[in-house]
């Protein structure tokens, strides 16, 4: 079996064969969000406490999500549906893993997500 990386980032370790399971498992275990997105990534908070989330991220990581142009942006709904407010921010690579593990869990109801639409 050959694994093909369609995004070209990060490069896969090459052809994966049954006997290569340990090598592939080691590569996968070493994979982090920071390695997937070395330039950082736009993250989106979906929950009821965006102000508390922004304050905690600012205090713990020194980045201010609420200063990003994506934060608090009104978005029209699809197909005439109701609009909503988007809470997005660009997260530097070195903080993606920590923010996911800390804030994408129990501390704030809701979730932190990566959407695949890059900033144009």
Walking along the chain (120 residues) 10 residues at a time, the average pLDDT comes out as 45 57 71 87 86 90 94 88 90 88 58 50
Give the contacts of 112 (CB within 8 A, at least 6 positions apart).
43, 44, 45, 46, 99, 100, 103, 104
pLDDT, residue 10, reads: 52
pLDDT, residue 111, reads: 53
What's the distance, Cα to Cα, between the start and end of the chain in Å?
Answer: 36
Q: Is there a single domain that holds both residue 45 and residue 26?
A: no
Does a structural domain hold residue 120?
A: no
Range of the domain at 109: 35-114
Q: Is there a single domain that holds both residue 23 and residue 46?
A: no
Q: What is the pTM of this model?
A: 0.64
Rounded CA separation 96/38 (Å): 10
pLDDT, residue 46, reads: 83
Rounded CA separation 65/112 (Å): 12
Does a structural domain hold residue 51?
A: yes
Q: Is there a single domain that holds both residue 62 and residue 15?
A: no
Q: Is there a single domain that holds both residue 73 and residue 101?
A: yes
């Amino acid at each position: 079996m050959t694994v093909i990386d369609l995004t070209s980032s990060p490069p896969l370790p090459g052809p994966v064969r049954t006997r290569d399971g340990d090598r592939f498992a080691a590569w996968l275990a070493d994979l982090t969000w920071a390695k997937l997105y070395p330039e950082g990534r736009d993250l989106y908070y979906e929950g009821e406490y965006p102000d508390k989330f922004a304050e905690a991220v600012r205090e713990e990581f020194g980045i201010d999500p609420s200063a990003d142009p994506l934060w608090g942006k009104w978005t029209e709904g699809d197909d005439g549906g109701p609009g909503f407010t988007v809470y997005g921010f660009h997260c530097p690579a070195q903080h993606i893993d920590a923010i996911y593990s800390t804030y994408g869990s129990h501390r704030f109801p809701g979730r932190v997500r990566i959407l695949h639409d890059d900033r144009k």
